[in-house]
Amino acid sequence: MPCDFCHGRPTKLFPARDFTVAVETKNALSVSAWSACDPCAALVEADDYGALIERVMQLVPSIPVEDRNNPDLIRLLKDTYAKFRAARTGPPQRIE
């Protein structure tokens, strides 16, 4: 299971309630905890979602270079991470 943010190697789990996110014409369901690598976890814990979005846009292999400044994709990530922030139910847990 990769980091739910940048697809790196996860080291922490952030417990969260389920929530939905509108993706194009469909709703996607986020179920339970999100995994995070150390750098992404540090940004989540610092509540620095702007830097987290920049990191994701640069590191996720499925985002083409030409889409890294796509305002629709950035808006989707902002919406998703705002819902994730609201759905968090406790502190991160270390993955052993």
| Domain ranges within the chain, ordered by starting residue | 12-90
Q: Which residues, 6 or more positions from 53, have their beta carbon under 8 angstroms from its beta carbon? A: 74, 77, 78, 81
32 phi and psi angles, rounded to 5 deg:
70, -150
Pairing of strands 12-14, 34-36: antiparallel
Give pLDDT tens digits for 57-82.
Answer: 999 888 888 888 889 889 999 999 99
Give pLDDT tens digits for 38-55.
Answer: 999 999 999 999 999 999
Name the band, by pLDDT with cuts 50, 70 and 90, for residue 25. low
Task: Return d(Cα 80, Cα 52) in angstroms, integer.
Answer: 12
